[in-house]
């Protein structure tokens, strides 16, 4: 293969969910089979990179000052669902079962991988709690060791002395599985079956 194609292939392989063969298929599709799709994709990526940033309150992606969900007056700001990633937030939104707001941590505590509290988006959540804005925290984190550690950190460090209640989503999700892979019905059951943490 040409060096130019191989460069594209190698860069695509670095994306989540794309292995050697799928990255090769995507590169071939965009460069050889459907080259008319390449420029619109490049333009959309450049526009997204220029316009999108993290909401300073929630950590969600936004083009404006605040994310659309947090800015929506129909949403219940006093109920905050804490998630690891933006795709987790999107999965819960697709379920249609939740009308509160979110807080995106952009990861979970993992001492083995060098991820500590300072590496995650805890500070804005701590401020929301301290300001009395939050009456309930719903922990919608992965059902694994790192997710449990993150839940305990939030309970012990951020909610200590707060009147806010804390709950954890029920798990119809497989142990060790992530929220982003669940279907809408499973997420609805998990949210409706949450329990005190």
**Which domains are seen in the chain, by residue range?**
3-51 (1.10.8.420), 54-196 (3.40.1360.10)
**Confidence at residue 24, expressed as pLDDT on a 0 to 100 scale:** 94
With vertex at residue 68, the alpha carbon angle to CA 66 and CA 73, rounded to the nearest 5 degrees, is 100
- Predicted pLDDT of residue 173: 62
Question: In angstroms, rounded to a whole number, what is the distance separating the alpha carbons of residues 171 and 187?
Answer: 9
pLDDT at 155: 94
Cα–Cα distance, 79 to 100 (Å, whole number):
5
Structure tokens that stand for 155 in this block: 């309970």
Whether the predicted model's global pTM rises above the 0.85 cut: no
Q: How many CB atoms lie within 10 A of CB 189?
A: 17
Q: What are phi and psi of 178, to 5 degrees?
A: -105, 160
**Is the Cβ–Cβ distance between 76 and 99 less than 8 Å?**
yes
Q: pLDDT under 50 in the chain at which residues?
A: none
Beta strands 195-196 and 61-62 are unpaired
What pLDDT digit, counting tens, does each position of 5-59 carry? 999 999 999 999 999 999 999 999 999 999 999 999 999 999 999 999 999 999 9
């Amino acid at each position: 293969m040409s060096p130019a194609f191989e460069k594209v292939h190698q860069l695509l392989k670095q994306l989540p969910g794309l292995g050697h063969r799928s990255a090769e298929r995507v590169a071939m599709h965009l460069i050889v089979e459907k080259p008319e799709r390449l420029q619109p994709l490049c333009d959309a990526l450049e526009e997204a990179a220029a316009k999108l940033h993290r909401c300073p309150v929630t950590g969600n992606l936004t083009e404006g000052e605040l994310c659309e969900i947090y800015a929506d007056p129909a949403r219940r700001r006093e109920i905050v669902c804490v998630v690891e990633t933006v795709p987790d937030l999107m999965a819960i939104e697709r379920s249609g079962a939740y009308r509160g707001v979110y807080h995106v941590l952009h990861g979970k505590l993992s001492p083995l991988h060098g991820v500590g509290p300072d590496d995650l988006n805890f500070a804005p959540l701590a401020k929301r709690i301290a300001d009395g804005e939050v009456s309930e925290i719903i922990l919608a984190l992965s059902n694994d060791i790192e997710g449990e550690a993150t839940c305990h950190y939030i309970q012990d460090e951020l909610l200590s002395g707060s009147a806010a209640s804390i709950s954890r989503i029920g798990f119809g999700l497989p142990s060790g599985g992530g929220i982003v892979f669940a279907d809408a019905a499973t997420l609805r059951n998990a949210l409706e079956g949450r329990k005190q943490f």
